[in-house]
Amino acid sequence: MSKDFATREENYSKWYNDIVTKADLAENSAVRGCMVIKPYGYSIWEKMQATLDKMFKDTGHENAYFPLFIPKSFFSKEASHVEGFAKECAVVTHYRLKNSPDGKGIIVDEDAKLEEELIVRPTSETIIWDTYRNWIQSYRDLPLLINQWANVVRWEMRTRLFLRTAEFLWQEGHTAHATQQEAIEEAEKMLNVYADFAENFLAIPVLKGVKSENERFAGAVETYCIEALMQDGKALQAGTSHFLGQNFAKAFDVKFTGKDGKQEYVWATSWGVSTRLMGALIMAHSDDNGLVLPPKLAPHQVVIVPIYKTDEEFARLNEKAAEIKKSLEALNIRVKYDNRDTHKPGWKFAEYEFKGVPVRIAIGPRDLENGTVEVARRDTKEKASYQQIDLAHKIEHLLGQIQSNLYQKALSFREQNTTNVDTWDEFVNQIEGKGGFVYAHWDGTKETEEKIKELTKATIRCIPLNNKKEEGKCVLTGKPSTQRVVFARAY
Amino acid sequence: MSKDFATREENYSKWYNDIVTKADLAENSAVRGCMVIKPYGYSIWEKMQATLDKMFKDTGHENAYFPLFIPKSFFSKEASHVEGFAKECAVVTHYRLKNSPDGKGIIVDEDAKLEEELIVRPTSETIIWDTYRNWIQSYRDLPLLINQWANVVRWEMRTRLFLRTAEFLWQEGHTAHATQQEAIEEAEKMLNVYADFAENFLAIPVLKGVKSENERFAGAVETYCIEALMQDGKALQAGTSHFLGQNFAKAFDVKFTGKDGKQEYVWATSWGVSTRLMGALIMAHSDDNGLVLPPKLAPHQVVIVPIYKTDEEFARLNEKAAEIKKSLEALNIRVKYDNRDTHKPGWKFAEYEFKGVPVRIAIGPRDLENGTVEVARRDTKEKASYQQIDLAHKIEHLLGQIQSNLYQKALSFREQNTTNVDTWDEFVNQIEGKGGFVYAHWDGTKETEEKIKELTKATIRCIPLNNKKEEGKCVLTGKPSTQRVVFARAY
């Protein structure tokens, strides 16, 4: 692992990119804005997927799969949705290529033009609600609790690996309900699932709240979100859950007959998280020595590195390491034993440090004599000598400690970077200085929100759930306000 | 479940479609050729995915993710690949829509035309080998053993649910090796993984072989395949594994420095199976009463249905069923207890029969008195009274029996529908009559193969691995031949 990477201080943006590319998480592809997720990065995503998938199933959801393409006309059916989504997108216009008459390569066959263009899905509400029309007749067909794991495409002009890419991977839940109340409860339940996942797996504390009208999902009545704070003081929206009212049911004519025999439009939610979570994970915990991974999502939780001079020592270490590995695996700990003779221990130490492996165990001939190993934790960089006796349980405990330490550290950071401000000067100073979450009074209007964004690039990240009511004056206009909302610059 | 579905005898094609749609596996979507995979169907696919994914990882492969889009020019780089794949495909030409000047909906924004068109991947060799160029420098970087789970699109004119759809889900393995020998071994290893999966999970016996030149993957040096026989006597290619030689390495300039310091092009394989396996699974085992699922892939392996008249009986049955369910789940058996009071037992029996649940347990008040349950198996439709004592182990054993019975039944069917023929008349009679696998001599030429296809619609399914050498005369031309090859009409 070369030392040729930036620190946060020097260049935060380059630091992030260096970690993503040099820790083998992802890289840009030959296709503008589309990334390649490399095996190490993908294995972290797989762990996120498996965890979330179980949480979705435990809350009664089933997976299904809907088409990649959406007929153009579908987007026009929900008025605000089309404004939000149908504009910057990949448009399929033809279904055939042919050999170029000049013999140089292939060209689009103009005889194979689609009657109606197809849009590569930026999100699937329209095609799914078009399908639900045939699936829902009576209250007995409700609730319908469906999730899809899929790729989606939004033609972003400025892209950044994981954080904003033209194609990304995500899950999108789409549920249908007989009552407004039940749909709202579903949207809130899934927000809580996301918050649980963020805090207990990603080890990232999140604010739960609702979006202002400006920031709402195109087509939603209410957008719930979880907001995380990154180390540069910028916020990152880590997941959203939308109460869609009857908007899509009306646009696609999805009605059900209630117990009382009356027909009513169906109530809807949708909710999603994406490979953007990889960006959040990287930025929340990593340091100037590279990636730091919470143990619950680390592909390798422990790496064992042997240190030896002679073949005889190597043979004995292999034996001992195999024994340790087995004892760790018996506790479902994911262990890698790296006994490649093509790389020196120092190189391996740097490599696994940069890749964020939570615990490193080094073992050498003297350890064999003493019945010890050297244990280094990635988060604090502390090293200690451990007795081999009952090592597996001690490591298991240590992994738990690392997981909670990362959360605590991120929480402290957020606490230290959360400020109440009451004047416009304070507001500007805070946003343009340290950043962080800024709680300020706002007069509740779109115009003020937009003006603040224009002046400072700060947006309302959310209005926290169960927000404290408090009389105050809008930080920009001085008009009366009943609560503080959370501002920040954001990814 | 209505009785309104076709039998195999009446209309095999309608029978298949009825099972797919009425057992809630999949349906056509609003987008031509694209299907919606419904939750019940998707849960079977998830089990296939999980099983295969484990098999891939156990053989040293890692997952990654490559872009959905491929620049048009990439396809022209491998001469035979472009002929096979780049023609019927979805072409993205624009990246923006705008409001129509007439105010009616949205139209393509001609100002947002891509400089180079993007193809929605029909398979990913080109984009992956373009990426591998940067990943491979030295023999130390090899082998590279990567798999991707993804959606792909091929613009098929005639589509059938699962068997042939414009968009389908699949996995594609793409490996890179330092030697020809190692790449060939990899291609053969993955063929064996597929055969193992087909026989031990899908319960479908398969022939392993290689394709004739005509039927080879576009860009491959050798295509290995597994071929299964369906109940209508037609063959279905269930998986392919390709030895690609150095074709893609040359097309994308991927070289490595060997131990000897010399540069050489990298050797490649690719291999894939898709949601087409769902079609194979359905057609191999199902009967005129609906879907039949092998227990290893059934979402519910056992369904328990209570039969009662009074609330008091219902309460006692609920208690007993919960106990049985718990004991089955302790053995990792997937159980559904259906105590909905909105449907009668007879309706439920028909429903689960049609959906292929391997074992049904019915329990009524008399069973409670006698300490029994009624057990019905889906495959043979036999019913028997079982003592409740040690029921879970008996059911576990029964599930194993059903799994192997389905395989044996499919194997017997294949044996009965495999014929050696020596004359053209016999050949035509067999192909146009019962069908099945027809072993016949062939003179080894493309022309003869094509002529046979033209005359009978039969194709060479494969040249079996370790095929018996045997002198004979080509069934069409009478020219000398050294071995029989396997002909059939195919899906």
User: Which pLDDT score is estimated for B87?
Assistant: 78
In a domain, A106, yes or no: no
Residue B100 — very low, low, confident or very high, per pLDDT cuts 50/70/90? confident
Same domain? For B271 and B334 the reply is: no
**Domain end among A379, A413, A447:** A413
What CATH number is attached to the domain comprising A302? 3.40.50.800
User: Which pLDDT score is estimated for A1?
Assistant: 46
Contact criterion met (CB < 8 Å) for A67 and B31: yes
**Domain end among B285, B312, B334:** B285
Residue B222 — very low, low, confident or very high, per pLDDT cuts 50/70/90? very high
**Nearest-neighbour CA in chain A from B427: distance (Å):** 37
**Mean of the pLDDT values across residues B326-334?**
98
Same domain? For B369 and B312 the reply is: yes
In a domain, A86, yes or no: no
Contact criterion met (CB < 8 Å) for A90 and B69: yes
CA–CA dist A129, A133 (Å, integer): 6
CA–CA dist B25, B23 (Å, integer): 6
Contact criterion met (CB < 8 Å) for B30 and A96: no
CA–CA dist B299, B37 (Å, integer): 15
**Nearest-neighbour CA in chain B from A347: distance (Å):** 16
Range of the domain at B448: 419-488
* Cβ-based contacts of B47 with chain A (< 8 Å): none
Contact criterion met (CB < 8 Å) for A91 and B92: yes
User: Which pLDDT score is estimated for A80?
Assistant: 75
* Cβ-based contacts of A46 with chain B (< 8 Å): 63
Contact criterion met (CB < 8 Å) for A63 and B46: yes
* Residue A395 backbone dihedrals phi, psi, to 5 degrees: -70, -40
CA–CA dist A95, B119 (Å, integer): 9
Same domain? For B144 and B58 the reply is: yes
What CATH number is attached to the domain comprising A433? 3.30.110.30
Task: Locate the chain B residue with the closest alpha carbon to A88.
Answer: B96
Classify B439 as helix, strand or coil.
strand
What CATH number is attached to the domain comprising A151? 3.30.930.10
Q: What is the ipTM of this complex?
A: 0.96
In a domain, A6, yes or no: no
Q: Which member of B39, B64, B151 has the closest CB to residue A62? A: B39
CA–CA dist A375, A361 (Å, integer): 5
Q: Report the residue of A24, A37, A68 to disrupt the B interface, i.e. the one with the largest count of B CBs within 10 Å.
A: A68
* Cβ-based contacts of A45 with chain B (< 8 Å): 65
Same domain? For A401 and A427 the reply is: no
Contact criterion met (CB < 8 Å) for B43 and A30: no
How many residues can be counted in chain A? Answer: 491
Contact criterion met (CB < 8 Å) for A65 and B42: yes
Q: Report the residue of B65, B109, B117, B162 to disrupt the A interface, i.e. the one with the largest count of A CBs within 10 Å.
A: B65
Secondary structure E strands in A310-416? 335-337, 359-363, 372-377, 383-387
Task: Locate the chain A residue with the closest alpha carbon to B34.
Answer: A67
* Cβ-based contacts of A127 with chain B (< 8 Å): 29-31
* Cβ-based contacts of A105 with chain B (< 8 Å): 72-73, 76
Task: Locate the chain B residue with the closest alpha carbon to A275.
Answer: B65
Q: Which member of B42, B91, B150 has the closest CB to residue A64? A: B42
Contact criterion met (CB < 8 Å) for B155 and A29: no
Burial class (CB in 10 A: 0-12, 13-18, 19+), A425: exposed
User: Which pLDDT score is estimated for B79?
Assistant: 72
Strands A106-108 and A167-177: unpaired
Give the helix ranges, DSSP H, for A136-275.
180-200, 247-251
The 10s digit of each residue's pLDDT in B170-204 is 999 999 999 999 999 999 999 999 999 999 999 99
Using the structure block, give the residue that is written with the tokens 């049911």: A249
Residue B4 — very low, low, confident or very high, per pLDDT cuts 50/70/90? confident
Same domain? For B345 and B403 the reply is: yes
In a domain, B225, yes or no: yes
**Nearest-neighbour CA in chain A from B69: distance (Å):** 7
What tokens appear for B58 in the block? 């156990």
Secondary structure E strands in A38-187? 62-63, 69-71, 88-99, 106-108, 113-120, 144-153, 167-177
In a domain, B91, yes or no: no
Same domain? For A377 and A480 the reply is: no
Tell me the count of A-B CB pairs closer than 8 A. 178
* Cβ-based contacts of A90 with chain B (< 8 Å): 69, 92, 95, 118
User: Which pLDDT score is estimated for A263?
Assistant: 97
**Nearest-neighbour CA in chain B from A74: distance (Å):** 10
In a domain, B79, yes or no: no
Q: Which member of A34, A67, A71 has the closest CB to residue B69? A: A34
Q: Which member of A42, A88, A92 has the closest CB to residue B90? A: A92
Residue B47 — very low, low, confident or very high, per pLDDT cuts 50/70/90? very high
Q: Report the Cα A453 to chain-centroid distance in Å.
A: 24
User: Which pLDDT score is estimated for A303?
Assistant: 98
* Cβ-based contacts of B108 with chain A (< 8 Å): 91, 93, 117
Same domain? For B43 and B138 the reply is: yes
Structurally, chain A folds into a number of domains equal to 3
pLDDT tens, N- to C-terminus, chain A (491 residues): 446 789 999 999 999 999 999 999 999 999 999 999 999 999 999 999 999 999 999 999 999 999 999 999 998 887 777 777 767 999 999 999 998 888 778 899 999 999 999 999 999 999 999 999 999 999 999 999 999 999 999 998 899 999 999 999 999 999 999 999 999 999 999 999 999 999 999 999 999 999 999 899 989 999 999 999 999 999 999 999 999 999 999 999 999 999 999 999 999 999 999 999 999 999 999 999 999 999 999 999 999 999 999 999 999 999 999 999 999 999 999 999 999 998 999 999 999 999 999 999 999 999 999 999 999 999 999 999 999 999 999 999 999 999 999 999 999 999 999 999 999 999 999 999 999 999 999 999 999 999 999 999 999 999 999 999 999 999 999 999 999 999 999 99
Cβ pair A373, A339 in contact under 8 A: no
CA–CA dist B216, B210 (Å, integer): 8
What tokens appear for B104 in the block? 């009616």
Same domain? For B42 and B169 the reply is: yes
In a domain, B81, yes or no: no
What tokens appear for A344 in the block? 């020196």
Contact criterion met (CB < 8 Å) for B67 and A36: yes
CA geometry: angle at B443 spanning B439 and B448, to 5°? 95
The 10s digit of each residue's pLDDT in B398-450 is 999 999 999 999 999 999 999 999 999 999 999 999 999 999 999 999 999 99
* Cβ-based contacts of A94 with chain B (< 8 Å): 91, 93
Same domain? For A172 and A236 the reply is: yes
Q: Which member of A34, A35, A75 has the closest CB to residue B106? A: A75
* Cβ-based contacts of A115 with chain B (< 8 Å): none
pLDDT at B1 over 50: no
User: Which pLDDT score is estimated for A348?
Assistant: 97
**Mean of the pLDDT values across residues B50-67?**
98
Same domain? For B327 and B355 the reply is: yes
User: Which pLDDT score is estimated for B86?
Assistant: 63
**Domain end among B285, B305, B321:** B285
Same domain? For B386 and B326 the reply is: yes
* Cβ-based contacts of B342 with chain A (< 8 Å): 140
Same domain? For A270 and A305 the reply is: no
Contact criterion met (CB < 8 Å) for B64 and A30: no
* Cβ-based contacts of A69 with chain B (< 8 Å): 31, 34, 90, 167
